[in-house]
């Protein structure tokens, strides 16, 4: 997947760092081009460099951000380029002007629970769902505590539920509450990971394939033991992170895998996993052997039911 070339017009270092981090984490852009004022932004555009997305703050040194957007939109080849406008205020006249210019989104910063709830309220009457899909790494890893993410989430439910039409539902509850509106054909498995957005983060090399086949191959043996601890450990070995650590990709995707990997190399991850898997199989063999020994009684069938059961033991 080709990464986007993004022009970021933002004079605030904190806000610029936020957007840069977001684009990199989402694999949208490795290093957006940042300028801090109207003049430099216009010179970049005039240089002939083609951008796939413009992110423009309304209040920048020189002329305003909206004036810059209007001027750029008038250029040949830029009328269809998506633009995101950011602002510290959601003044009605600015929002109207942004809409007139056909911007993709108008983002008010900083984002608060109250502002987000207001956006959710606007869906009422126009739709049923506002999806919030975030992994646990969002809290404290991608968004550190000093960004205010914990305060945001702490106050969000209260702000959302202030509107009588709002509620929270799990995906299963959504399926039960609303009927399908269309069909989406997804012939191939997709994921959030790496540039390919497929399963190659976990199943992209022979080590990963062999490790996964090994753990799945133990299923019957594990379940025959009836041992809760063995079953629990077997299930833990299916955690996707184990196979993620074995990824051997290069470039930026490889750097991301290394960042989250506590092993020195993917080969160390594979060796350790297979050793643990071998140990688990040995535990299964031992448990099944002990289980067989306990089957020391033999049931005898009689033509007529005896007055009492006669136990037979084999030493």
- Stated pTM of the model: 0.55
Distance (Å, whole) CA 297 – CA 282:
26
- Residue 253's pLDDT is what? 66
In a domain, 313, yes or no: no
Tell me what the pLDDT averaged over the chain comes to: 85
Verify that 119 and 96 share a domain, yes or no.
no
Verify that 115 and 105 share a domain, yes or no.
no
**Domain membership of residue 289 as a residue range:** 200-294
Any idea what the Cα angle at residue 307 is, between residues 301 and 313, rounded to 5°? Answer: 50
| Average pLDDT, integer, range 86-105 | 84
Verify that 116 and 93 share a domain, yes or no.
no
**Domain final residue pick, 78, 110, 142:** 110
Domain total of the chain: 3
In a domain, 314, yes or no: no
Nearest alpha carbon to residue 240 among 192, 283, 275: 192
**Domain final residue pick, 149, 184, 219:** 184
Distance (Å, whole) CA 258 – CA 246:
10
Question: What separation in angstroms does the CA of 95 have from each of 69, 87, 287?
Answer: 13, 10, 68
In a domain, 22, yes or no: yes
Verify that 152 and 246 share a domain, yes or no.
no
Distance (Å, whole) CA 280 – CA 273:
11
Verify that 130 and 105 share a domain, yes or no.
no
Verify that 204 and 236 share a domain, yes or no.
yes
Verify that 220 and 289 share a domain, yes or no.
yes
pLDDT by residue (tens digit) across 235-287? 999 999 999 999 998 866 667 677 778 899 999 999 999 999 999 999 999 99
In a domain, 231, yes or no: yes
pLDDT by residue (tens digit) across 139-177? 877 777 777 888 888 999 999 999 998 999 999 999 999
């Amino acid at each position: 997947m080709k990464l986007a070339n993004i022009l970021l017009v933002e004079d605030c270092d904190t806000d610029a760092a936020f957007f840069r981090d977001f684009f990199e984490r989402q694999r949208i852009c490795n290093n957006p081009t940042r300028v801090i004022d109207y003049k430099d932004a216009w010179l970049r555009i005039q240089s002939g460099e083609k951008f796939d997305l413009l992110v423009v703050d309304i209040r920048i040194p020189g002329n305003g951000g909206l004036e810059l957007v209007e001027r750029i939109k008038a250029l040949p080849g830029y009328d269809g380029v998506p633009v995101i406008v950011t602002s510290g205020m959601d003044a009605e006249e600015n929002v109207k002007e942004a809409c007139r210019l056909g911007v993709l989104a108008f983002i008010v910063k900083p984002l608060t629970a109250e502002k987000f709830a207001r956006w959710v309220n606007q869906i009422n009457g126009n739709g049923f769902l506002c999806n919030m899909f975030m992994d646990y790494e969002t809290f404290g890893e991608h968004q550190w505590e000093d960004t205010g993410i914990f305060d945001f989430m702490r106050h969000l439910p209260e702000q959302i539920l202030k509107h009588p039409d709002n509620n929270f539902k799990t995906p299963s509850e959504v399926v039960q509450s609303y009927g399908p509106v269309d069909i989406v054909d997804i012939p191939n498995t997709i994921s959030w990971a790496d540039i390919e957005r497929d399963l190659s983060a976990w199943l992209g090399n022979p080590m990963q394939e062999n490790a996964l086949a090994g753990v799945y191959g133990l299923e019957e043996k594990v379940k025959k033991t009836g041992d809760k601890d063995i079953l629990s450990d077997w299930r833990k070995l299916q955690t996707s992170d184990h196979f993620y650590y074995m990824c051997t990709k290069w470039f930026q995707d490889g750097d991301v895998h290394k960042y989250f990997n506590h092993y020195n190399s993917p080969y160390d991850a594979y060796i350790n996993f297979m050793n643990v898997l071998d140990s688990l199989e040995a535990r299964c063999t031992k448990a099944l052997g002990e289980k067989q020994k306990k089957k020391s009684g033999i049931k005898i069938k009689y033509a007529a039911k005896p007055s009492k059961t006669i136990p037979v033991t084999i030493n």
